[in-house]
Structure formats: structure tokens, C-alpha cells
Structure 1
């Protein structure tokens, strides 16, 4: 065997001994990191699942969050293993960042709706079954999904509102409190007896057991205009029977006014939130 071949073989042998040892140690380290990391991920996933269950996070959001955490930890573990093997990750990070920016710009609206959905499910400004008013629409919440919320209106229309715009808008939740105040406005003519009208309203509204603040009746002159005098009465009523009581009292007062010769040009009612648990 000629000297050049011998020198080449010795060089190869030296390289294999040196680099082979380094590669072997790196493989052992990477293998240990992988298996230990997998166990740590399992423990973190279990702890995270327990935390979100304890905080009663919505089930659909639980599944999504657990998937996000598991995938993020797995990607982090893979990157750690590759780095341990000596694979340069700088270019990968740059490529990943550029791809993320492009996707983010393309899906800007969807990401906004996604973020809104996560915040709604986490912070719970309303829940399924609540009656809410938002974006000029009022109805009962039937579904809260990641990207949009579905309402059913009083006339049985289905309204789908993107979560991004919904969360960033004013939301009136009519179901948080157990009771709300109804505001009745009864109009009478100038020539009608105000005291008689007030007595009729009081006898009809504040003798009803469903009016929770009946012990403290409130009937006042709300306004005076060219069309007559407006009398305002308020009553605290449970949400479950709100509409029924509201309509019944309007009808009863109207009939009583007719019997007593009191004209009623027009009648209005408003419902206001009232912070009281009953």
C-alpha cells in the first residue's frame, strides 16, 4: 500500500474517531432530550388541562387550547433536539417568521375574529342562553364558536356576528341580573285628572305581587308637551316574566283609563337593566 493511501486512511480514521465521538454524544443527548421532553410535555398538558377545567373554561375552547399548548411544546422540543444535533436553526426561524407574517396579513380578519372568540369564551361577557344586544341586534345566544357567535332573534331570525367586531363593540347582557326595571310611559290629555290617572296606575301596577318593588311606588310627571302630559311609572320584575308583566299592565291601564274617561294619546314602555339579585 503506497504512502498516500496510508495517509488518507489515517486521516479518515482520525476524522471518524473525532467526529464520530462528537456525533455519538450529540445523538445520545438528543435522544435523552426527546424522551425526557415528551414526559415533561405530558405533565404540562395534564396540569394545563386541570387548570382550565377548574376554571370552567368552555369545552370547545378547552380542546382548542390544549391542542395549541401541546403542538407548541412539541415544536419547541423538536427545535431543541435539532439544535442539539448541531443543525443551524437561524435560517429556519427567518423562514418561519416570513411565512407567519404572510399568513397573518392574509388572514387578518379571521385572526381578529379568532382572538375575539377566544376572549369571549375566556372572559364570558355572555353565555349560551343569554339575551344580549349588540351591533344593532338583540336576541338569545344559541352558539359561541371560535370565529362567530349565533343569535336567535324574537322573530326567529338567525343572526351570525363575527367575534372580532362583536367583542370590540358595546354588549348589553340582559341576563346577568335576575330582575330588570320596566319603565311605563302613559300619556294623558291636559284636561284629564292627573291624580286619578296616578291612582289607577298605582292600583294596577303596584298591587301585583310580580312587581318586586311595589312597596315603594314611583309615578311621576315625566314631561309636558303639546300632545299632553306623560306619566312615568317604574317597576322591578323578574326577567323570566318581564314581557308578560309589561304587556299586561299596559292593557289593564288602558282599559281602566277608558272606563274613567281618561284619554290616552299613546303609551310607551322601556326596559332598563337594574343591578339587583332576587
Structure 2
């Protein structure tokens, strides 16, 4: 057999293997998408906790795609023992190259296992704040109140302090109001308490708190603490600020503000 014939034979065999690899990859990835779509429509999948869904979906999709890649490599004729040996030898380099991704994967496992938050919770963490919309293998997705998408690496959020506003059904609204020293303490407390009592969203237990908290440099500072359902927090917060200011105006209670006194010496 001549050199040209050998070259043709090798080229034909390589072409067949290449076509086989392409077919395995194309068909395999399409099957992965079909399996994913059917799984998402199944009754058993619908009943799974939403927080776990996104993580399991990512894990399953990556696992199936990895199986497709291994199958494609196997069709080339490379023995799996040789392939495993090569992967093992390159393991250190791969580990260093994927160090960040592996940290994010570990962070995702911790989040799913320990459940510091779940899909639908409003949280602050890793310097960001928003509603959790998805917890994936490597990233956690948030949506901010002004409708911005924030994608946080799982390692960052797993290693930072997280404030979860969705754990408890109620929250406390804390406000501070300053009035002039000419105002009578009992009158200020009465005006604030009347506004609080008329707000139907404020819970009566625990009892609302209205007290003088501090003698400021130019004002009397009153603390107001009321408990509300978590969903009513911002509505009560802004309503109290507006209505207490209006009540102060009706009752002639002054809110102090900085004054600038200018003394001019005119020497004629």
C-alpha cells in the first residue's frame, strides 16, 4: 500500500470519527433539551421547592451534557482508561483554572443545604440587595426594586453576611422626629400617638412605642417604633412620615432647622 493510499485511509477513518463525534454531540445536546423540557412539565417537578428547582436543573443539565461529551470522546476510539489517566494528570491545572468556578459551586451547595434564604426572599448580601429569583450552581440572581438584574457569584454571597427580610412575617418600623424645645412633650406624644392609632396597618401587639429619646443640640428627638406585617413595611413607613408632619403643622408644633445669623458692623 502506497503512502497516498495510507493517507487516504487515515483521512477517511478520521472523517468518519469526526462525523460520529459531531452527530453524538448534536443528537446528545438535543436529547438533553428534550429531557429538560419534559422534566419541567412533569407533576413531580412542579411539586419541588422553587429554591431547589433552579439548582437541580443546573446540576442535571451539566451532568447530562458531561455524559454526552464523554460518549463523544468514546466514539473516537480513545480508551476510557487512557482518557481518565489524562484527566487525572491534568487535574491540578484544571483545578487551578477553575478555582473560582469550584468555589462558586461549593457556595451554591452551601446555600441549598443551609438555606439562609430562598427564592422569593428580599435579601442584602455581598454589597447588593434585591429579591432572589434564582439560585443556580454557580450564581444567585436578584432583582432590585427598580427592576435591575443582579448576578452574584455563590462564593461571594456564601462568604458574606446576609440580611434576609423574608424570614419573619412581621417587621418593626423605626422613625425619629425632631421638634423645637418650645414644644410640650405630652402634646408631641399625643399628636404622634393619634396618627399611629388611626393607621389600620399598624399592629397593636407589640404595642406601638412613642417616647422622647434625646435632648439634641437644637431639638427634642422622639423615637417612634411600630410593628407591621412585612408586606406593609414601606407603606406604613412613608405614610407615617407624611401624616405626622401634617399633624405637627395643624397643632403648631415646629420642626427645627438650621439657622444662619449674620451680624454686620457698619462703621461710618
Output the TM-score relative to the length of structure 2.
0.65
Deviation readout 1:31-63 (Å, 9 max, x if unpaired): xxxxxxxxxxxxxxxxxxxxx999857123334
1:194 corresponds in structure 2 to 185
Taking a change above 3 Å as real, the CA distance of residues 197 and 134 of structure 1, as seen in their structure-2 partners, is: same
- Secondary structure (helix, strand or coil) at the match of 1:125 reads coil
1:46-65 → structure 2 map (5 Å cutoff): 56=49, 58-63=52-57
1:181 touches 1:234 (CA, 8 Å); kept in 2?
A: yes
2:196 corresponds in structure 1 to 205
Measure the CA separation in 2 of the matches of 1:158 and 1:60: 16
Unaligned runs of 5+ in 1: 1-51, 73-86, 267-278
1:239 corresponds in structure 2 to 230
Name the Cα RMSD after superposition.
Answer: 3.2
1:24 corresponds in structure 2 to none
1:220 corresponds in structure 2 to 211
- Secondary structure (helix, strand or coil) at the match of 2:225 reads strand
1:21-40 → structure 2 map (5 Å cutoff): none
1:259-278 → structure 2 map (5 Å cutoff): 259-265=250-256
Measure the CA separation in 2 of the matches of 1:64 and 1:123: 18
1:128 corresponds in structure 2 to 119
Q: How many angstroms does 1:160 deviate by?
A: 1.5
Q: How many angstroms does 1:243 deviate by?
A: 0.7
Measure the CA separation in 2 of the matches of 1:54 and 1:161: 27
Larger radius of gyration: 1
1:219 touches 1:232 (CA, 8 Å); kept in 2?
A: yes
Measure the CA separation in 2 of the matches of 1:181 and 1:215: 10
Measure the CA separation in 1 of the matches of 2:97 and 2:133: 30
1:140 touches 1:151 (CA, 8 Å); kept in 2?
A: yes
1:165 to 139, 156, 162: 156
Deviation readout 1:109-162 (Å, 9 max, x if unpaired): 111112112222333211222111112222111222221112121222222211
Q: How many angstroms does 1:210 deviate by?
A: 1.7
Q: How many angstroms does 1:67 deviate by?
A: 7.5
Output the TM-score relative to the length of structure 1.
0.63
Measure the CA separation in 2 of the matches of 1:160 and 1:140: 12
- 206-215 or 146-155, which moves further after superposition? 206-215
1:58 touches 1:122 (CA, 8 Å); kept in 2?
A: no
- 182-191 or 210-219, which moves further after superposition? 210-219
